Amino acid sequence: MKPVIFGLSGPALTPDERAFFADVEPAGYILFRRNVVDRAQLRALTDSLRDLAGRDDLAILIDQEGGRVARMGPPEWAAFPAGPAFAKLYQAAPMSAIQAMRANAQALGLMLSEVGITVDCAPLLDVAQPDTTEAVASRAYGTDPMQVAALGRAMLEGLAAGGVVGVVKHMPGHGRAIVDSHHDLPTVTAPAEALAVDIEPFRTLRHAMMGMTSHIVFQAWDAERPATLSPVVIDRVIRGEIGFDGLLMTDDIDMKALSGTAGDKAASAIAAGCDLVLDCWARMDEMIDIAGRLEPIAAHSRARLDRAMASRRAPDGDFDELIERRDAFLALA
């Protein structure tokens, strides 16, 4: 098994993809809108990935937060609210917001489990600041780390009840970035004392099974390398100060915050201490480059992956009742 999660080019595996993936055996896959048509198609796609891998516990990921970040949507699937809706309610009624988020996430989990998706790249634990880039601010759970952690915990618990593993992101925090790492490399100049606020939600939820790094340079910790490529940030901050010992994956290495070839970036991320590389765009030449640069997955990384996937439980709950419960709480805001 190679320590990488690959994207797919379309709604079904191509012959070239099938042959390549069978040979390389990636740790998992991530789905986007280009891979999604309807329930029957999506279930057939995820079943084909499990059959190819020969594993029922295969990690099949999607970014399904709600709001602007939703790969599955109307008319086939329900639309879900983004983080700020729950943050607004939290200001008026914290416990109602937590219950709303838990019901929301459980419904999300049921929706994903129905089509064979096993991992959702949520919750987002970035603590918003006044100048946080809109790419994060429009999705954040608030400006108070305790609130962010409380809503994040509810998201993890709800997803788990729906049969899905959550991924806390973007470690060690994206809230101070004022540019979008999809397009540019953010640099955070805040001192380590101020960054304690950013890492607090991650420390609170340090026992999460999966986490995702951020492509951000934190001058207080490593002025030369973004967190994804920094052994200092990963070992000292994420594994050390935060205390996270779950499966650590990169954010998409194709994002423009990182420079170099796909293989260079992948190899550097693994060398820095990430367990898995996330490569989303299904470009065969880049996937071949990555696979050629990566050694088989390390034993400790495989153990973290297996532990995370073994944590999944049978989906539970009634989708319509959960949505009705969520909406009743949100109406209180």
For residue 157, give the nearest of 108, 96, 212 by alpha carbon.
108
- Catalytic residue, chosen from 198, 251, 252, 279, is 251
For residue 292, give the nearest of 264, 259, 327 by alpha carbon.
264
The strand pair at 210-213 and 165-171 is best described as parallel
Q: How many residues does the chain have?
A: 333
Contact 141, 148 (CB under 8 A): yes
- How many CA atoms lie within 13 Å of 185's alpha carbon, on the beta-carbon side? 16
183 a catalytic residue: no
Residue 315 zone, left/alpha/beta (φ > 0; ψ -120 to 50; rest): beta
CB burial of 227-255 (b: ≥16 within 10 Å; e: otherwise) equals bbbbebbbeebbeebbebbbbbbbbbbbb
182 a catalytic residue: yes
- Catalytic residue, chosen from 144, 182, 245, 264, is 182
| C-alpha–C-alpha distance, residues 47 and 114, integer Å | 11
| C-alpha–C-alpha distance, residues 87 and 164, integer Å | 23
Sequence-distant (6+) residues with CB within 8 A of 63 are: 30, 32, 69, 70, 71, 120, 121, 122
For residue 332, give the nearest of 95, 142, 143, 108 by alpha carbon.
95
Active-site residue list: 182, 251
